[in-house]
Structure 1
Amino acid sequence: MNKKESLIICRCEEITEEEIHEAIRKGATNIDAVKRMTRAGMGLCGGKSCSKLVARIISEETGKSISEIIPFTSRPPVRPIPIKLLGHQGEENENC
């Protein structure tokens, strides 16, 4: 296994650098296309920890400058979630 195959870019979804390169080879030319093809940026952090790395890889592969690469599109929850519930992920809450 070489370095690109094993280097994790998106920790939330465990997406490797090689998977990002493969998505670009298959036609992904922007961050949202990479996201749809690999799930990079779809984890709990919403791309906050991996978006810059994904953008850099796209830039290197396509020759686009970083400023030309549009950031991840984030989507808020369907309905508002009280902050107190976010702190109890994985725990049962009788008030839900």
Structure 2
Amino acid sequence: MITMMKSEDFTVCRCENVTYSEILAEMDKGVNDSREMKLKTRAGMGFCNGRTCGHMINKITGDTEDESPVFIHLRAQPPIRTVSFEELSGGLLDDEKNIKP
């Protein structure tokens, strides 16, 4: 269940149910970049891997203005699922038929 602290509060990360007030609370505690925010609140770590909320988190933390070479934006990754060798090969092969005398 999502509990919002104020009526003007809203959900920033839908996958992990992180609200704007939670992000502001972490910033008050000293979190000052999007990477650290991701580690503290799990915003950007859900199913979409930050593709939905990553830009907003970068804007809230002010990371979009930082052009220093040590700055790392939130990285979005495509969802990954395992693929068996059978699926990659197109099916099972019958080894008996492929043996040459």
Superposition TM-score tier, normalisation by shorter sequence = 0.5 to 0.7
Q: Return the index of the structure with the highest Cα Rg.
A: 2
Q: TM-score of the superposition, structure 2-length normalised? A: 0.62
CA RMSD of aligned residues (A): 2.8
Q: Aligned partner of 1:82: which letter? A: V
Across the two proteins, how many residue pairs are aligned to each other? 75
Give the match's secondary structure for 1:9. strand
The aligned counterpart of 2:87 is: none
Contact 2:15 2:47 in 1 (8 A): yes
Confirm whether residue 43 of structure 1 aligns to residue 46 of structure 2. yes
Change (3 A) 1:14 1:74: same
Superposed displacement of residue 31, structure 1:
0.8
Percent identity reads: 31
Q: How does 1:9-88 map to 2 (within 5 A)?
A: 9-59=12-62, 66-68=64-66, 70-73=72-75, 81-82=82-83
Change (3 A) 1:37 1:82: same
Aligned counterparts of 1:21 and 1:58: Cα–Cα separation in 2 = 9
Q: TM-score of the superposition, structure 1-length normalised? A: 0.65
Q: 1 or 2, which has the higher helix percentage?
A: 1
Q: Unmatched 5+ residue regions in structure 1?
A: 84-96
